[in-house]
Amino acid sequence: MDEFEQRLAAAQAGDEAAFVYLFRSVQPTLLRYLTTLGGSLAEDAAADTWVRVVRDLGRFRGDEAGWRSWVFTIGHARLRDAQRRARREPIPVDADLEPALGPAADDVEASVEELLSTTSALALIGQLPRDQAEAVLLRYVVGLDASAAARVLGKRPGAVRVAAHRGLRRLAAGLAPEGVTDPAAPSVAELS
């Protein structure tokens, strides 16, 4: 048995330290995925995900890639449930709040650093159409292959590859300065 299988078996037998290891191996990327797609619903969806994981941990069978895929499948479903619930609830409005105006982007260096930050990248991905954002996140942020991402999304691997390709193309087009193309830049096919 490899290290993951040993820790999984220990966690399934009730070893808290082994479960903490499994949790930490997935939680940061799970939370980024859920936050990018669900915004303020992400933390609740992540909590619901881990409740399900703990409940069903004894039934899980698979390797480390299967573990990640299983957790993200549960997370995806919990986020969808949270989004459906949120659509049915009234939106509270605070009339006393005034819109906050941020400083002008005069500092080019700071603006470039912000653009290249992880938060900005996830925000850009979050602006993609939902199927493209999900595919790009699962393939390139989470690191799942097309088959595992397809299982999470309930789609065919080819559909996930196409959505990820289109998402990367849209991101590349949105980041390139207007009218400027770089012939030396790798194509999206070369990136995937």
Domains and CATH numbers, the chain: 3-88 (1.10.1740.10), 117-179 (1.10.10.10)
pLDDT at 96: 52
Residue 167's nearest CA partner among 139, 138, 125 is: 125
Intervals of the chain under pLDDT 50: 95, 97-104, 183-186, 188-192
Helices marked H in the chain = 3-12, 16-38, 42-56, 64-88, 108-116, 118-126, 130-136, 146-153, 157-175, 188-191
Mention every residue, 6+ apart, whose C-beta is less than 8 A from residue 69. 62, 144, 148, 151, 152
Residue with tokens 């005034």: 98
pLDDT at 24: 94
Separation of alpha carbons 1 and 84, rounded Å: 41
pLDDT at 185: 47
pLDDT tens-digit map of 31-51: 999 998 888 899 999 999 999
Separation of alpha carbons 136 and 150, rounded Å: 12
pLDDT at 87: 83
